Structure 1
Amino acid sequence: MSFASLTQADLPALNEHLATRSYIGGFVASADDRVAYSHCSGLDVCPDAFPHVARWLRHIASFTRAEREKFPGEPTVCKCTEKTCEKAKTKAASEAVDLFGSDSESEDEETKAEQARLRAAAEAKQGAKKKKQDMSMIVLHVKPIDDESDLVAVMKSIPTDIVFDGLRWGEAELQDICFGLKMIAIACTVVDDVCSIDDVCEAIVERYESAVQSCDIHSFNKLG
């Protein structure tokens, strides 16, 4: 997916995009992450509404600016001109302010009191909701027994063969290891209190024992 711009209005699409990806481009950080991070840093990213974007922002923020500058590749996101992007950001900021009415000095006390009441009611309603289940995004590395292992078949069948409550499979790809060997990198999200990722790894090794040597956790990120 290509993001011509990244404003408040683009957050739902970005959140969906990152639901099955560690980075904008998939499993590896790139220049797209650096550019997208600079555009998203000033946005209002609510962890409850956009958990995947919030997780991604925290992760990219863990890199220093110098490290982000070294992310490989040429950026493909946010190709709009600086002037266009500034207009989009200004418009998004104006729309965000308008959600609760004008902030002008002419706003009377009665209107402010009504806004405060509505905010309090919304917060109380949200607090009364059942606590959302904690979730994690994980990338697994599935390594073969030898160079004759049919990893393509394994990769295609994992989402249908390995099924657990609270488990959702994401994107998968083959990555080089060494000496011509490849491994499977596959993303998934799990509900922490429902699904054990150790059980998932064990199930993969047992199910594909003739082709798979091991299944290990490559990255583990809490959502929300």
Structure 2
Amino acid sequence: MVVGDLKTEQGIKSLDAYLADRSYVEGYQPTQADISVFESIAKAPSASTPHALRWYNHIKSYGGEERKKLPGEKKLPSIFGAAVANGTAAPAKEDDDDDVDLFGSDEEDDAEAARIREERLKAYAEKKSKKPALIAKSSIVLDVKPWDDETDMKEMEAKVRSIVMDGLVWGASKLVPVGYGINKLQIMCVVEDEKVSVDLLVEEIQNFEDLVQSVDIASFNKI
């Protein structure tokens, strides 16, 4: 078969038929022949010529430097007809509408693709900005030890819970025997890591020195 003028719809259809069982214009890899044919096409093939469109998009993906490195001689194969190969094919019939620029369609396609890409990136950025940031928190269990068995444990707990910090939430508590009739206060809290310093919290509890002998961290878990 002979492929006709690639600047016409009929020529693209014949190219589509030629590429129906071929990946490239010549051989099994892209060559300068593919570049020559690509540059001879006035505008991208439509979906009605899927084989030509597939080939066109593939060759289009090669950048300028990549194209130069492809093997072979940059000329149209003889299968594309003498007139086309010699560059003397009759020009496409001019449309009555002078505003139509066939040779500018590739740039229009690229501009449209860039516009769509920018819109998608903008939408993704907006969606990401609206997503609430993950707040790092920790669950802590504190052992608060009294001086002796005469310490008022209810008062001790009340003092501990009186400590208020932004990002601090007190949880459950219980008395745990430590021997000789002495109990320690084991109390849980949840803190926001960026807002609450655990060392400062321990120091605040130890400030109740008439009740508190020492404070230990029984467990510390990120949540």
Q: TM-score range by the shorter chain?
A: 0.3 to 0.5
Higher relative contact order (CA 8 A, sep 6+): 1
In the superposition, the TM-score normalised over structure 2's length comes to 0.42
Q: Which protein has the larger Cα radius of gyration, Structure 1 or Structure 2?
A: 2
